[in-house]
Structure formats: structure tokens, C-alpha cells
Structure 1
Amino acid sequence: MKSLKKLLILPVLMFGTMVFAQTASNRFFYELTFKPKKDSAKIEKVMTTLDITKDKSLYRDFTWVAQDSIMKVQVEAMQKSGIFKDMSKSMTMPKFAYKVEKVYPDMKVILEEGLQNGMTPMKLGYVDNTKFNWNITSEKVKIGTYNTQKATTEFGGRKWNAWFTSDLPFQDGPYKFNGLPGLIVKIEDDGGNYSWELKGNKKVDNFEELSYIEKISPGGTSKRVEVSRDKFESTIADFKKDPFATIRPMLKPEMMSQKLPGSDVSIGEMVKKQEKMLKDFYDANDNPIELPVVKEKKKK
């Protein structure tokens, strides 16, 4: 999942790049239209991608990856000059901070997100064992260039309508959705909160799972720690309430007063700015794809 922990380490992007194995993927571009606030009529859009390789698929917000070449130029300029530059001024922030991986052939679904654990960025994930119970209808419609068929299901506390095509023989789709006899071309909930529609695709010969920023960031190449879903959700919820909770005790006054290389900005000022950016990011969306499960209280 795409993690906003990168905001916390931009000043230390002075490390050398590493070489990673590459493979080929079929990349499908899905435009996601969504309602970030459940009590608002405001609608937002973001481009997301589903990369399908022979072993698995990877779904994510495409915003970071789309800026890889721009970030690479800026980071290499910082490395060469030794002078810090606030890259947040030239970057577009992603709307979502998670990734969804589906491992073939068993379609093991793993959702991953990043967070800070003290001074160490980490990747946290859980396995979702949901099996979609699809009702395939006789309704057919053409969406773009694809002949599609409608299917319905219930998932995450919402009712979903999906249109899939057997022209693309992948039993996959955006986010966690999978299990239909063809790629999902469009899927939306009946409340108009989330809607994905396939807008294009291409072959990526040099596909890499990590974006450029992830590859050069501390913790960006670390292994994912898998926990139970309950543990994941409670940990991420605590992180969103106070993203700097675990790192704040380590930020000593003498460190906070230091200036960044070649800049008049202090570490303290940068941390304050990044803390606000993280809080604003998480506060911007209170309408999750999967609604929280209301747990019944045990009777005494």
C-alpha cells in the first residue's frame, strides 16, 4: 500500500539508489470516483492501477508512481548539491495510502499500509479471507470497447454492482474485488460512494512493485509485517489519530532547532508542517470503502 510515511523522511533522501529485479505486467488503469465525506455531496477522482503479473496482482493509487521521473530528478539534484529542497511543494499527494496484493493462483488477498514505529518506518498488512459471493445476471452492456456482463455482490457493508468482460481473461479487479470469469471493467456501490471504471491498459516490461521514493526511503524496502485484521485496524487507527506519537519523544530540542542542509528551515518547522499534512490527509476521508463492523456488546 502506498504509505505517507514518505513525508517523514524527505529530508534524508540523500541515499544511493538500489537495483531491483524487474518483471512484466499488464497494467490496467481504473479511474476511481469517490465520496470522501459520507455526509457531503463532494466527489473526487483519482487514477488507480492494477498491475497483473504471472504470480500476482498489485492495486494502488497511481499518484506516487506517476511522479517517479520528476522525483528522481529532484532527489538526484539534492544528492549532488547536498542542499535540502522541500519536495512537497512540487508533489501531488496520493488520496489513498494502502496497496492490495493478490497472490495467484489461490487469490490470497493482502492489504498493506505503512506507518511510523518510533524512528523506523514499517509496513503493516493483513490477509483478507473474504470469498465473494457473486450473482451473475443475464444483463449485458458495452462499456467503452468491452462487452460486459453484470454481477452483484455484498461486501464491506455495501451492495455492489459489477460489469466484467471475458475478453480479458483475468479473474481480478480493482481493490480486493476478484472471482468473476473475466476482468472487472466497472464496479460501484449502490449508494454512489465508490465507483471504479477501466480507462485503459498497457504492457509494462519493466514493472517494479516499489515506486522510486519507496526504493530510496529508509524502511521502504523492508518486509511487510503481517498481523490479524483486528490488530491491523487498531494500530492504523491509533496512527491516524496521532501520526507522530511514537516519534515525538525522540525529537529532542537540540535536534529540532537544527537547520536542514542549505536551508533556513529547521527540523522542528519541517516536522510541524509534515504533521499537519498527515493529519489533513487522514481527516480528509471519513467514508471508507468497507464500513466498520459494529460489534455487539456482550450481555452481562
Structure 2
Amino acid sequence: MKKMFILFSLMLAAFTSAQNQRFIYEYKFIIDSTAKDKQESETMYLEVNSKGSKFYSKDYFVSDSTMQAIVAKDTQSLNINLGNFKFKGKIRYNIEKMYPEYSTNFFTTLGSDEYQIQEKRMQNWKMLPEKEKVGEFNTQKAICDFAGRKWTAWFTTDLPIQDGPYKFYGLPGLIVKVEDNTHSHSFELKGSQKLPAGYEWKSTKDKERYRTLIVINEAKFKKAFNDYRMDPMKNQKQMLAQGTIIEMRDSTGKILDPIQASRDQEARAKANIKKQNNILELDLLK
């Protein structure tokens, strides 16, 4: 009985230490399947506390916070100027999982529209006996099919929290590494740090925004996603058709013809979208 109590106490201490932590992952990805030598990477944060977890890009979060501060300041003077502001970070989505159900919400943007997608899919993991050392952790292997890809994960019971990077969760320990079978998308734990004192959970859905957040299910988002890929400038075209004046300037400050500038912007957007043929959730393209 005493041994069982000691074991339970150790497990509780390990679980508690996993709470209020920021786990730092390196995300490596190849978006264009025709340029497999052009692997990109981004630092991602998985923040875990008693309510749930948030997963997002470090650089994009800093840029978004900076932009919000500029807008708040300039709004008071009625002169909002974001002309020289440039976002950092390639990953513009973030993911929230609420404990204990692990209900998952995916927040992303298409053009100027921001979406909240209520995720209903789950990963049906198959745990395998293979063990491997990943960084400082002893891990076990698990596999699943998810979002049009086959995934291999390595999880550790040293951190008994059933969470992981991106939308992955449901194993009896933190997912330390997960990679798809084409080796074009992978997340690997690189470090951790305690969340700042006074950390407060704030959902993305509650942040201040100037356009209404669009809350939809997976099927409707898939349609919106592919509609955007077909016509990425639809919203701007509608604004121009309604008589909205959109002022665009070149790098020298010269005012551009809005119609021609919009056409040039559309051409660039479509060229960029064409290269995005190897996105993480392949089933969105099918």
C-alpha cells in the first residue's frame, strides 16, 4: 500500500510539473512537393495549463501582438499606419484544446477573413512496442492516419499529459516527436520553460478584432478553403465593386491604380497558392 502511495505521489508530481509549461517545438515542413530541397522551419509553442493547451507560432504571435499595439495606439489619434509593418512567421494558425475533453478549435485566416473551425476528428492511435531515445526522453512509438497523412509519433510517459503539437493528442504521455511518412512535416520537442507568473488563459475567439470571427465546421471550412484557392481576391473585388476606395502604394510611396494593383496582387497570390500543394492537411485538397 505504501509503495502504491509513493508511486501515485510521483505520478502526481510529474503531472503537476507538466502543467503551466511552455513546450518548444521545431516544426519542419515542405509546402511545395516540387521543391523538396526547400525545407522550412518555425519555432512553435505548446502552452499547457489546467484549462487546456494552445499551440501557435512564436514569431507570428510576437508580430500579431505588436500590430495590435500599433492599432490600439493609432486608433486614439485616428491615424492608423501599418504601411511599414511586416509580419514575421510563416505559420498563421493556432490551435486550442480544452481539458478534460480535449475539444479542439482551429483558428486560421483566409485572406482578410478569420475562422474558428470546430474539430471533430480524432486520432485513432495504434501503440507499438518500439522504444527510442528522443532528446532526453525515453519514448514509445505510435502510428495513426490523420488529415490525409500517415503519422508516426514518439511519446513519453515521463510527462503524463495526453497532448502534443498541432492537433495531436490522446497518447498516455506528451508527444515528443511526430512525423508523416513522406518526411515533409515533422514536429520535435526542443525545450520547455515555465509559463510566466500570473499567466492567464485567453482564448483566440475572445481577442479584439475588427471583422467578425467566422465559426464553422470542418466541411464548410473545406469549401471556403478551396473557394479561396480558386479566387483569393474575392473580398477585395467585392469591396471595389461596392465603391470602396482602397489606396495602394509602391515602395516609393507612389499611389497605384487600385484595379491594376489588385490584378498584380491576385497574380502573386495565385502563384503562391499553386506552390502550396503539400500542405499538412492533405485531405483539404481532395
Which range, TM-score by smaller chain?
0.7 to 0.9
Count of matched residue positions in the alignment of Structure 1 and Structure 2:
259
Question: Is 1:63 the equivalent of 2:56?
Answer: no
d(CA) in 2 for partners of 1:98, 1:68: 12
What is residue 229 of structure 2 aligned with on the other side?
A: 240
Structure 2 residue matching 1:202: 3-state secondary structure: strand
Question: Structure 1 residue 181 and structure 2 residue 172: aligned?
Answer: yes
- Amino acid in the other structure paired with 2:30: K
Structure 1 residue identity aligned to 2:43: M
Task: Describe the shift of the 1:167–1:280 C-alpha distance in structure 2 as closer, same or farther (beyond 3 A).
Answer: farther
TM, length-normalised to structure 1: 0.71
d(CA) in 1 for partners of 2:46 and 2:276?
22
Segments of 5+ residues of structure 2 without an aligned counterpart are 1-18
User: 1:293 and 1:280 mapped to 2: Cα distance?
Assistant: 19
Q: Cα RMSD over matched residues?
A: 3.5
Report the equivalent of 1:87.
Answer: 84
Does the Cα contact within 8 Å between 1:111 and 1:128 map onto a contact in 2? no
Task: State yes or no: 1:109 paired with 2:104.
Answer: yes
Answer whether contact 1:78 1:85 (CA < 8 A) is retained: no
* Paired letter, 2:102: M
Distance 1:48 1:133 in 2: 24
Larger RCO: 1 or 2 (CA < 8 Å, sep 6+): 1
Deviation of 1:233 after TM superposition, in Å, equals 0.3
**1:180 offset after TM fit, Å?**
0.6
Q: 1:266 to 1:102 in 2, by over 3 A?
A: same
The aligned residue for residue 100 of structure 1 is 95
2:42 aligns to what?
A: 46
Question: Counterparts of 1:113 and 1:129 in 2: how far apart (Å)?
Answer: 17
Normalized per residue, the structure richer in helix is 2
For residues 59 and 142 of structure 1, the distance between their equivalents in structure 2, rounded to whole angstroms, comes to: 24
Identify if the C-alpha distance between structure 1 residues 272 and 82 changes in structure 2 by more than 3 Å, giving closer, same or farther: farther
2:23 and 2:121 mapped to 1: Cα distance?
Answer: 24
SS of match in other structure, 1:246 = helix
Q: Secondary structure at the match of 1:100?
A: strand
| Contact 2:248/2:261 (8 A) holds in 1 | no
What does 1:184-263 align with in structure 2 at a 5 Å threshold?
184-205=175-196, 206-207=199-200, 208-210=202-204, 215=207, 217-219=209-211, 222-227=212-217, 229-251=218-240, 255-256=245-246
Deviations 1:122-162 (A, max 9, x none): 424132232x2222223222222222222222223322211
Structure 1 residue 33, shift from structure 2 partner = 0.7
* Aligned equivalent of 2:30: 35
Write the distance in 1 (CA, Å) between the matches of 2:50 and 2:22.
Answer: 12
Please give the TM-score of this superposition, normalised by the length of structure 2.
0.74
Q: State the Cα distance separating 1:242 from its structure 2 match.
A: 2.2
1:26-80 CA-to-partner distances (Å, cap 9, x unmatched) read 2211111111112322211111222222222222233221335654665567555
Q: Does the 8 Å contact 2:226/2:285 carry over to 1? A: no
Give the gaps of 5 or more residues in structure 1: 1-23, 296-300
Identity of aligned residues (%): 32
From the superposition, tell whether residues 126 and 210 of structure 1 become closer, same or farther in structure 2 (CA, over 3 Å).
Answer: closer
User: Aligned in 2, Cα 1:64/1:294: closer, same or farther, shift over 3 Å?
Assistant: closer
AA aligned to 1:238 is: D
1:17-36 superposed matches below 5 A: 25-36=20-31
List per-residue Cα deviations over 1:70-120 (Å, max 9, x = no partner): 5466556755593624134x432x32333222222122223232346xxx8
* Amino acid across the alignment from 1:142: K
